Every structure is written in structure tokens, then in C-alpha cells.
Structure 1
Amino acid sequence: MDRDALVLRNRSMTAAFHATPLKHQIRRALLTTLASLPHLPARHAAQQRILLIRPDHLGDVLLTTPAIRALRAALPNAELHALVGPWSARVLSSYSEIDTVLTLPFPGFSREPNESLRSPYQMAFGAARHLRRIAYNAVIIFRPDHWWGAMVAHLANIPERIGYNLPDTAPFLTRAIEHTHEHAVIQNLRLVEHWSGPLVPENVHFEYPINHADRLYVDGYLTEWGITPQQPIFCIHAGSGTWVKQWPEEHWSAVADILFEQLDARVVFTGGEHELGTIKRITSRMKQPSCIIAGETHIGQLAALYARARVVLGPDSGPLHLASAVGTPTVTLYGPADPLEFGPWGSQDEHLILASDIGCRPCRVLDWADDSPEYHPCLRDITVAQVLEAARRAAR
């Protein structure tokens, strides 16, 4: 199939993917009905108490933190509670702006199948009962399409419910903000403008706090691998949540070898325990030595490692946002996601983006299910030479 035909094929499939299927249309009608039913009067907290709902994983949660900091600056005496998945609890626990971190295994985000069609709704009613007892004055649903979180907030009788004006979420909200494809940091800031007022993007800082113990852990680990503080470290996070965002493993092997040979870099591979197989396949193809720290760090230790690195490279994923949050230059490879919306926050001179010019991207489809990878070349289009050139530029 030639490239033009491939683009037409993928655009057609993308349109079908983003169309609203009949079962979702039925669900939307039922949700609208549920939102219109009378419910118990709201309980008001004696002290201003605001709930922040963010069901996602590392990257999306990090991109929410500038809005959280803006909200804290505007409301220094309010209680700010975050409701996140257990997979993200440690991320927000590091921020002093959050008073309490609550966890919930949000349906659709736990990467486990639902027990039944009823189980997400049963969980919603249970979560709403718990939140109702705490009593919140307001709630912000940060994920644009998170109708489930908006429904929980409605069932919990939280008086002020803020989110985006999308068909499934809007019926449950008291203030629905128009959703545009701005950068995610800007989108999140718009949700708190009611309290903070408009913020100038150039004045918005993106940071992750690192403690001394985590720095010491990383120093000790690197010393065990024979890496001294004077040697430049380049970190590669090769894994991603889906195959459509994966760069060929042999390309990473080549990049790591050349960084060692030409820049005298010490290459450190990071990742979760489930990504260890990928990393070992990459390192097995290498001619030069490397360090593997996959599966041996929690979020704070990973942040401390990235803070020591000269550059962090990888496909679009949460750890690349963590690197930018600790002030380390990045080289990020983008496939189906739109970097204008989900790119690294910071200077374009320090955070370099590589993407294919194929006409069907960004498709915003992260799960092509059983479709063959050969029909989705957007990551494979990026060359080893492009990544190396970007790494050299970022390291200057």
C-alpha cells in the first residue's frame, strides 16, 4: 500500500474510532436522565473544601499540578483534597499544596477489566456516599471526558461542580467550560480561573519536588554501576503504554551505543518492572555498556535520577513529563498524540519534539487493537540520526 492510500485508510479508521457508537448514545441518554433526577440537598463544609478529581496516570497528573499550585495560591486557607487512582497517589503526595490524597481504582483506568456492566455504577454510588460524608463545597473534574467522575460528584451532592462542556459530562456540572485543544497545562489552569484569575503561560512553572533521601538513593545506585558525578548521564525511557507509541528496539540500541561512543555518555535505561523485557532486548543488541534501573525506583527516586541526567529521551509518556518537571532537557518521540496538547511544558530549546510528517497524525488513537503495526509507521518514520541530532542539541 502506498503512503497516500495508507493515509486515507487511517483517516477513515480514525473517523470511525472517534464516532459515537450506539451503546454510548444510549448511555448518554441515561446519564442525562440521571442528572435530571431530584437528589438530597447538598451538605456544605464549614471550611472551604475542594475536591480535585484526576483518574489518569503519571503524565496527565503531572500536567495538572500547575493548576493545583495556582488554586492553592488563590485559596491559602482552603482544604484541597485530590481523588486519584492508587497508581498516582505517590505523585500528588509529594506536593505540599495538597492536604489529603484519596484513592479510588477508577473504572477504565486500572487496566483491569470491569467485573460486570453494573460494577462501575455500583462503585460510583459507593464512592459518592463516602464523599458525601466528607462534605465538599466544590469539585473540579480535570479530565475532559470523565463523565464517571462528574456523575460521582453529582451523586455526592457537591454544590459546585466544574468541568468541561462535553456531552457526557455537562449534565452533571454546575459550571461547564468550553473544551479546546490547547496545551493540557492551559486547559487545567482554565478550570481554576474562577478562583485564581487568568494566568500568563510564561509565568507558569512546572516543577516536581525532590527530597534528599531520593537523591542519596540515586547517587548510591549510580556509584554501584561505576558512574561518577562527573560523567554525563543520558536516560532512555523506551517503554510506553501501547505498541503504537513504541520506537523500534534496535533503534534505541543504536542511539545508546552512539551516545556512549561520541559523547562519552553513560546511558541509563529506566522503566517499570513490566518493561524490563523490552530493556533487556535493547541492551542485548548493544556493543557498549549501559545501566538498567528499571523496576527499582519509585516516582521520587526516578525524579532524582532524571535531575542528574543531561538529557532524557523516549516516546511520549509520563516519565518524559517528569523529566521536564525537574528541569532536565528532553527529546520526545510523538506518534498518535498531539504534542500541541500533550507536549512537554517548557522551553522549546530544551524540550525537543520529533514526529512524523505523515498526513494521518495526530490521530489521537492510542489503542488500535488488532490492527497491524505495519499500517501505523508514525514512530518508525523517526530516524536514529534525527534522535541523535536532537539529543546533541538538547545537551548543549
Structure 2
Amino acid sequence: MNILVIKFRNIGDVLLTAPLITALHTAGHRVSALVKSGTEAMLEGHPQLDDVLVYPMRSQGEGRLAYLRRELAFYRQLRARRFDLAINTTEGDRGVIAAFLSGAQRRRGPFTPGRDNRWRRYLLTETVNPRDTHLRHTVLRNLDLGHPDAANIPIAVTLHINDADRDTVRRLLDAQGYDSARPLVHIHPTSRWFFKCWTEDGMAATIDYLIANGAQVALSCAPDGHERAKLDAILARCRQRPFDLGGRLTLKQTAALSAIAAVFFGVDTAPMHMAAAVGTPVVAIFGPSGAFDWGPWPNGWRSDANPYPARNGVQSAGAHLVIQQSWDCAPCGQAGCNNSKRSDCLERTGTTQVIAALDAALARSHVR
């Protein structure tokens, strides 16, 4: 069967469709993925994926009519691939429409009766009710959409890194004095949503502790002015000098940095998922979002049960650890407390707890 998997979301969301792609391919199907521009790197090189298709974006200065013509041409090319099944993995309207316009006779996706617009139901031939999956990890919800056409295999999020990206990262580290005989901790302290970030003082104190106790620290952030300013504020509070790669790495190079590291430390971001995908132990601080939904995936997981079964609190799965307050309001799913863009649960997470978790992770890595 020729299957199209549609994921019109952000970088981390796209990466977490990798197990679904693997399971469909293992069952003997040909699999293509359709994603937003800028997220395709998360699936490029996936050994079980036949094609990565990128939805056309409207160019700057492009008229609406010209863009519509380009969209229609894209859909003509999509239909020419003659997909048998299109799986929309998100609850947005655009994915449902893309599944319908793909020409696939079978179209499957999430649909919540009484909440979603009824017209969405008519564009799908098979539906899955996502509200039947309370406290179910995103990886497992994606796999639910593959049944009964997906193989039952150990679940792993895979991310391909090429040698060129590894070499680039190694050169950047070497230029700042990297010593391969000493453990390296990759810290990605920023997020596009600052209400998911830990405190600048907490990050700086943790960096200082790690370096003072023999570890090396490499910092990264997205090539975005706001994130770079956040990273600079952290560096201004540091007494020790970590390796600064902020804004200098592509997505794949960020993953290559994690692959070199003994431990990854950060918050709920795409780089956290990327680190877990390349097999690096993760210590992550969660605030408004839930680990049951977005925790770093433990590759090789063999159960249909959620590796993060609790609503909040400290949880571990495989080599990964999530730190979150055991508060009744956590996770709130909001943009900070009452949508204030500030998260008390993160601001009140103590440095001592974080440092103890990183010490334990480094000890388990057998490199410290």
C-alpha cells in the first residue's frame, strides 16, 4: 500500500512521527511524509521513509492568485502519486483538507464528535477519537492512527545525522578548546516560548557547577534574536566560560552536538526530542506542558503504556528524567500562569534538584 503521513506542525511534532513511519514501512508499505517548510530536516534521511514532501509556502511579495496556482499545481503532483491511504496526524483543518485533496481513497485522522466541525468528518473515511487517549504520549497517539496498518515493533524515534554535520560540530568545539577525554553536557536553555524556559540564574548556576566539577558545557539556541538575547543573559551571569554555539548550528548540527555529549539538559523543546532520538540521556525541566504528552522518548520502548504515566512530578523513562512540580495546576497547558508568559512552577524549580539529577546522569554515562 502507498501511504501518505501528514504532519503540519512544528519541528518536534514532526520528529515524533518517525515511529509511525517505521511501523508502517515494517508492515510492508511505501511511506511518504508531507510536512511544513522548515521542518523537513527532522525526517530527511529516515531509512524507512521513501519521500519527504514539503507543502509550498507563500513567498514574500507573492500575490494570492499566484500562490493559489502554485498550491493547485502541488496538489496535482500529489494526486499523481496515487496514494491508497492518507493519515492526517494533527487536529488542524489544513491536514484534513490535504488528505482529501491528495486523492487517497482511504483518509484517516483524529476527530472529536461534538467539538470538531462536522465538515471535517465528511472529508475523512476513518476517524480516531483523540479524547479516548487521556495521558497518552504523542508518539503513541501517532501510532494509534497507524492501526491496523502498522507493525507492532519496539518504538524508537530516529533522526539521521550525516558525517558532514558531525565534522562541523567537532570543528566548532575544537576551536573553543574541547577535550574529548572529558564529559560534555549539551545545554539548550531556550525555547521559542519563554514561558517554557527555566530561570537565567538557575541555568547560569548549573553551568558554573558543571564546569567547576570537571565537565565541559556546550550551549546552543536557535538563530533567532530573542533566543540569542536570552542566551547572552545567561552567559552574563556565568562565572565559568562554556562553549558558545548559540545560533550557529542547523537543526541536524544541533542533534550532532547532542550525539557527542554525555548528557543533554534543557526544557521542553525540539532539541530535547532530538537529543533523545540520537540516544543521549536527557534531563529536562517541564512547566506548562505535560511529560505524559511530550516527555523525551525512551528508544526501544516495547509497551503500549505511556512511559510517563503520571500527570506531573519527577518521572523517568529509560535513560531520561523529567523534573516537574507536583502541583495541582501542573501542567496547565497555558502560556504561563493565567497566560501571563511567566511560569511559577519553573521559577520555583530549585538548582539543587537539577544539579543532583545531572550528577546522577553523568555518573550513569560512565564518562565522569
Which TM-score tier does this pair reach, normalised by the shorter chain? Answer: 0.7 to 0.9
1:152 aligns to 2:74 (yes or no): no
1:186 is aligned to 140
Equivalenced residues, count: 334
Q: Which amino acid aligns with 2:104?
A: I
Alpha-carbon distance in structure 1 between the residues aligned to 2:92 and 2:37? 17
**Alignment match of 1:344 (pick from 273, 281, 296):** 296
Distance 2:80 2:161 in 1: 34
- What are the Cα deviations for residues 133-179 of structure 1, in whole angstroms up to 9, with x where unaligned? 33321111112x12221122223432111111222443321111221
With structure 2 as the length reference, what TM-score do the two structures score?
0.83
Match of 1:315 in 2: 267
In structure 2, the CA distance between the partners of 1:320 and 1:192, relative to structure 1 (3 Å rule), is: same
Partner of 1:172: 123
Q: Which residue of 1 aligns with 2:308?
A: none
Alignment equivalent of 2:188, drawn from 228, 237, 244: 237
Contact 1:315–1:333 (Cα < 8 Å) also in 2: yes
- TM-superposed CA distance for 1:394, in Å, is 1.5
* Matched position secondary structure for 1:289: coil
1:390 and 2:357 aligned: yes
Q: What pairs with 1:33-52 in structure 2 (closer than 5 Å)?
A: 48-52=1-5
Amino acid in the other structure paired with 2:359: R
Tell me if structure 1 keeps the 8 A contact 2:263–2:361: yes
Unpaired runs of at least 5, structure 1: 1-47
Give the letter for the 2:85 counterpart.
Answer: A
Contact 1:124 1:152 in 2 (8 A): no
Q: CA RMSD in A?
A: 2.7
Distance 1:363 1:106, change over 3 A: farther
1:377 aligns with 2:347: no
Question: 2:25 maps to what in 1?
Answer: 72
Cα separation, 1, equivalents of 2:171 and 2:88: 40
Cα offset for 1:194? 1.9
Distance 1:162 1:230 in 2: 50
Structure 2: segments with no counterpart, 5+ residues: 299-315, 364-368
Residue 282 of structure 1 aligns to a residue in which SS?
helix
The CA distance in 2 between the partners of 1:228 and 1:176, in whole Å, is 53
State the alpha-carbon separation in 2 of the partners of residues 160 and 106 from structure 1. 26
C-alpha displacement at 1:211, in angstroms?
2.3
Equivalent residue for 1:163? 109
Q: Secondary structure at the match of 1:66?
A: helix
For residues 118-129 of structure 1, the aligned pairs below 5 Å read 128-129=75-76
Q: CA deviation at 1:314?
A: 0.8
Contact 2:184 2:260 in 1 (8 A): yes
User: 1:79-118 counterparts in 2 under 5 A?
Assistant: 79-104=30-55
In structure 2, C-alpha distance between the alignment counterparts of 1:379 and 1:106, rounded to whole Å: 36
- More helix per residue: 1
How many percent of aligned residue pairs carry the same amino acid? Answer: 31
- Partner of 2:166: helix, strand, or coil? helix
Deviation per residue, 1:319-366 (Å, 9 max, x gap): 001111111111111111111111111162521111122322212234
Report the CA distance between 1:125 and its aligned residue. Answer: 6.0
Aligned to 1:5: none
Q: CA deviation at 1:129?
A: 4.1
What's the counterpart of residue 220 of structure 2? 270
What residue identity is the alignment partner of 2:129?
A: E
Which one-letter code corresponds to 1:342 in the other structure? W
Deviations 1:240-293 (A, max 9, x none): 12122011112111110011112x111110111112221111111111111111
* CA distance 1:315–1:123, change in 2 (3 Å): farther
User: In the alignment, is residue 61 of structure 1 matched against residue 28 of structure 2?
Assistant: no
Which residue of the partner structure matches residue 196 of structure 1?
A: 150
Q: Which residue in the other structure is 2:311 paired with? A: none
- Among 201, 217, 241, which residue is 1:250 paired with? 201
Q: Give the counterpart of 2:250 among 298, 303, 307.
A: 298
Is 1:282 the equivalent of 2:249? no
For residue 136 of structure 1, what is the amino acid of its counterpart?
F
- Aligned-pair CA distance for 1:299: 2.3
Secondary structure of 2:179's partner?
Answer: coil
Letter aligned with residue 62 of structure 1: L
Task: Tell me, in whole angstroms, the C-alpha distance in 1 between the residues paired with 2:25 and 2:30.
Answer: 9
Larger radius of gyration between Structure 1 and Structure 2: 1
Secondary structure of 2:229 counterpart:
helix
Q: What CA distance in whole angstroms lies between the structure 1 residues aligned with 2:203 and 2:57?
A: 34
Aligned residue type for 1:191: L
Amino acid at match of 1:239: T
In structure 2, what is the Cα distance between the partners aligned to 1:140 and 1:131? 14
1:222 to 2:173 alignment? yes
Aligned twin of 2:330? 361
Task: Indicate how the Cα distance of structure 1 residues 366 and 313 shifts in structure 2: closer, same or farther if over 3 A, else same.
Answer: same
Structure-2 separation of matches of 1:84 and 1:368: 32
* Partner-residue secondary structure (3-state), 1:323: helix
Normalising to structure 1: TM-score of the pair? 0.77
Say which SS state the counterpart of residue 365 (structure 1) adopts.
coil
Distance in 2, matches of 1:151 and 1:73, equals 27
Distance across 2 between alignment mates of 1:97 and 1:297: 26
